[in-house]
């Protein structure tokens, strides 16, 4: 199966599991507010902590509502240092919004590019 045919969760696992501890989800964590948040994956980065991952394999661009939800989840759960949103289509507005709140926003194209670059490194 080529990289373009794989779903976003498979691509996300391939990209992050090489350097970090990748814990596939769904993972439910309870925040200080009492709300339970569901992450598609958790990435542990040694001394830098844990990062929550939302994967949205939709045929449309990512909504600001989803970015807000990820930001709220990261603020509500003390052991989560930050968030990563994986989606198919990003916009300039969604990239600007995510950078304001410290959320890393990655598209399918970015993940495929990372994996292809790794294949060509010696």
- Closest-CA residue to 54 (of 32, 25, 29, 79): 25
Strand-strand pairing, 80-89 and 103-107: parallel
Measured distance CA(36)–CA(32) in Å, rounded: 9
| pLDDT score of 63 more than 90 | no
- Number of structural domains, the chain? 1
Write down the pLDDT at residue 70.
Answer: 92
Q: Please report, for the domain that includes residue 113, its CATH number.
A: 3.40.1350.10
pLDDT digits (tens, 9 = 90+) for 3-60: 667 788 888 999 888 888 999 879 999 999 999 999 999 999 887 889 999 999 888 8
Q: Estimate to the nearest angstrom the gap between the alpha carbon of 60 and the chain centroid.
A: 17
Which residue range is the domain that position 108 belongs to?
Answer: 3-119
| pLDDT score of 83 more than 50 | yes
Write down the pLDDT at residue 122.
Answer: 46
């Amino acid at each position: 199966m080529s990289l373009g045919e794989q779903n976003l969760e498979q691509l996300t696992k391939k990209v992050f599991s090489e350097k970090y501890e990748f814990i596939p989800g769904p993972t439910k964590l309870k925040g200080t507010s009492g709300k339970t948040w569901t992450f598609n994956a958790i990435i542990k980065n040694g001394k830098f902590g844990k990062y929550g991952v939302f994967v949205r394999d939709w045929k449309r661009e990512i909504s600001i509502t989803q970015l807000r939800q990820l930001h709220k989840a990261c603020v509500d759960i003390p052991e989560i240092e930050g968030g990563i949103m994986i989606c198919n289509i990003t916009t300039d507005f969604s990239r600007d919004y995510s950078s304001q709140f410290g959320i890393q926003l990655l598209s399918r194209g970015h993940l495929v590019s990372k994996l292809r670059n790794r294949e060509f490194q010696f």
